[in-house]
Structure 1
Amino acid sequence: MEALAAVLGDPALAFPLRLSLRIAVATLCLHATLGVALGWALSKRRWPGRSLLDIAVTLPMVFPPIVLGFGLLMLLGRHGLGGWIETGFGAGLIFSEAGVLLASVLVGLPLVVKPVEAAIAALPANLAEAARTLGHGEIPIFARVILPNVAGALGAGLLMATARSLGEVGVTLMLGGNILGRTNTISLEIYNAVTVGEFRRALVLSAALGLFSTLVLIVLRRRAPAP
């Protein structure tokens, strides 16, 4: 207990905790909006570019995180698109909080998009058709008919994506740079602790993230319908 209190009471953890919380909240908002929009788009079959979008969304699920992170580092660095971004906006994505946010969004996005896509595709077509015959437009139909029917899939996806994003290291390390006091998240603090031999610190932080992931699993199991 003393070791636990010593680690959790360390002032050096204040910044990673605040950063991780900010990133988690921002990621949740982006996942909720992008997840629904992309899930809806991918649920529609046979439109130009759908396969490419599906690959781009799904890739973070199967691609090694460190390889994906390195590819994005090359693409978004100063010698790639990052140079244009920095010129246009006065700041780049790499080695910044924006890079950490981008990594968090990318690794968790498939866990939101794919369940929403499947849920929308499984909806009976006559639900929307009936609403159209009553004179409702596409936006009201989406908000009042489709969205409530996929809320369960969206909620489960958001829970899984949040747990996945909080534990992300590979892509975050490449895009954020693990700069102390600037881009070091809680998951990177575990990495830092291991590299300097502070295994007790790494154990406590790992247990905290592991407990959060376990709670997510328990919530998902309780939400799942009985067989």
Structure 2
Amino acid sequence: MNDPLGELAALFGEPDVIHSLRLTAEVALATLALHLLAGLALGYVLSRPRWLGRGLLDGLVTLPLVFPPVATGFLLLLLLGRHGPLGAWLSEEWAVEVVFSFWGVLIASFVAGLPLVVKPVQSALENVSGRLAEAARVLGKGETEIFLRVLLPNVSGALAAGLALGLGRSLGEVGITLMLGGNVAGRTTTVSLEIFNAVGSGEFERAALLSLLIGLVSLALFAMLRRLRAL
């Protein structure tokens, strides 16, 4: 590998790599939007103390952190597969096939990074919501206004850091994606799966170049995270 940058640039001309880059970018952007919405909603709900079902929801959100990715993917496959309870309904009612499709890759990316977004937001809201929210209620503010104008500005740093961590985790996701996306060349193969495939076929230089590419993106996310923590 005499010229890593030159060989890395040459990879961009390969159809499979172009597709994996495009798919990874599309999934990353969609995941970021979903993490933003779900991270705020779940973080807020879980920060509220003592309500029925809170422990179950907290456990489901945390599960991808403590459960092996392949096992998590298998559980999702049972749920979202063509003969699964939710997958069959989506197929029959909406003609949506999750497994071996873009939606499977997106769900894998979303699930993998979700705990890293929700937990910082939940912790930040638990620290500030009580005193600030009560003071706002005394002043006659509604719950929506309290959330948007009081709580959200105080957890924006935690939210941004969680989004960066969640996106970084999603970019490197392999196990869940293998189960739901199926690693179909030219269809559901992300950059991380291209690295996995290259190693499996003995193309170590190709794997190293793709690892360099995704490593540069990860370093950029790390730098962004450090700047956000300094704010």
Normalised by the length of structure 1, the TM-score is 0.95
- What residue ranges of structure 1 are gaps of 5+ in the alignment? none
Which amino acid counterpart does residue 43 of structure 2 have in structure 1?
G
Distance 2:78 2:227 in 1: 42
2:181 maps to which of 176, 193, 208: 176
Aligned pairs for 1:44-63 within 5 A: 44-63=48-67
- CA distance in 2: counterparts of 1:119 and 1:198, whole angstroms: 45
| Partners of 2:12 and 2:18 within 8 A in 1 | no
Counterpart position of 2:115: 110
Q: CA deviation at 1:12?
A: 2.7
| Deviation (angstroms), 1:8 | 3.3
Query: RMSD value over aligned CA atoms?
Result: 1.5
Give the counterpart letter for 1:184 in structure 2: T
**Aligned residue in 2 for 1:32:** 36
Displacement of 1:124: 5.5
Name which of 159, 163, 166 aligns with 1:158: 163
Relative to structure 1, the CA distance from residue 10 to residue 188 in structure 2 (aligned partners, 3 Å threshold; closer, same or farther) is same
Matching residue of 2:77: 73
The answer for unaligned runs of 5 or more in structure 2 is: none
1:216-227 pair list within 5 angstroms? 216-225=221-230
Alignment partner of 1:212: what SS? Answer: helix
Q: Aligned residue pairs: how many? A: 226
Mapped partners of 2:230, 2:7: distance in 1: 41
Q: Counterparts of 1:41 and 1:184 in 2: how far apart (Å)?
A: 35
For the residues of structure 1 that align with 2:7 and 2:27, how far apart are their CA atoms? 27
Matched, 1:214 2:214: no
> Whole-Å Cα distance in 2 between the matches of residues 96 and 54 of structure 1?
28
Aligned to 1:143: 148
- Point out the more displaced range, 174-183 or 11-20: 11-20
Residue identity over aligned pairs, in percent, reads 56
User: CA offsets, 1:55-104, max 9 Å, x none?
Assistant: 00000011110111112112221221212221111122111100100000
The secondary structure found in structure 2 opposite 1:150 is: helix
